[in-house]
Chains A and B, each alone.
Chain A
Amino acid sequence: MSSAPKDAPAVQAHDLTKIYGSGNTEVVALREATLTIHRGEVAALLGPSGAGKTTLLTVIGLVNPPTAGRLSIAGQPVLDGPDALTNLRTFRRQRLGFVFQQSNLIPFLTACENVQVAMELDGWPRRAARRRAMDQLEYLEVADRADFYPTSLSGGQQQRVAVARALANEPTVVLADEPTAALDSRRGRQVMGLFRKVAHDNGAGVLVVTHDHRALDVFDKTYEMEDGVVRLPADPTTATVAR
Chain B
Amino acid sequence: MNLAIRDVRHHAGRFALTAFGLGVLLMVVMGMGGIYRGLLNEGTLLIDRIGVDVWVVQRHTRGPFAELSRVPRSLVERVAAVPGVASACEFVTHTIQRDHQGRRLRMAVVGLSWPTDKGERLPLVAGRPLAQNHYEMIVDRKLGLSLGASLPLGKDTYTVVGVTRGMTTWGGDGAVFVTVNDAQAIQFDQPAEAVRLERAARRSRAERQDLGRAQPQLLERSAGPAVNFPALGTPNVSAVSARVAPGAAADAVCATISAWGDVTAMTHARQQDLILSGPIERSGRQLGLFRTLLTAVSAIVMALILYTLTLEKLHDIAMLKLIGAPNRVILGLIMQQAIVLGMLGFGVAYVLGQFAFPNFPRRILLVPMDLLKLAGIVLAISILASGLGIWRALRVSPGEVLSR
Contact = CB atoms under 8 A, between A and B. Distances in A.
Contacts of A98: 322-323, 401
A82 B398 CA distance: 26
Contacts of B399: 58, 63-64
Contact of A104 (B6, B319, B325, B397): B319
A90 B324 contact: yes
A63 B398 contact: yes
Interface of A: 54, 57-58, 61, 63-64, 89-90, 92-94, 98, 100, 102, 104, 106-109, 113, 116-118, 120-122, 126, 149, 165, 177
B82 interface: no
Nearest to B397: A63
A58 B322 CA distance: 10
Interface string B1-16: 1010011011100000
Given A94-B324, A126-B1, A108 B10 contact: yes
A8 B20 CA distance: 58
Contact of A92 (B7, B316, B322): B322
Interface in B385-401: 397-399, 401
B320 interface: yes
B351 to A, nearest CB: 27
Interface string B361-404: 00000000000000000000000000000000000011101101
B323 A165 contact: yes
B316 A107 contact: yes
A193 B10 CA distance: 33
Given A108-B7, A117-B1, A177-B402, A92 B324 contact: yes
Q: Which 9 A-B pairs have the closest CB atoms?
A: A93-B324, A108-B10, A63-B399, A108-B7, A63-B398, A92-B324, A118-B323, A106-B316, A120-B1
B319 A106 contact: yes
B118 interface: no
A224 B397 CA distance: 27
B314 to A, nearest CB: 12
7 contacts: A57-B402, A89-B325, A89-B326, A106-B316, A106-B320, A118-B323, A177-B402
B321 interface: yes
B356 to A, nearest CB: 33
Nearest to A110: B6
Given A54-B402, A57-B402, A107 B10 contact: yes
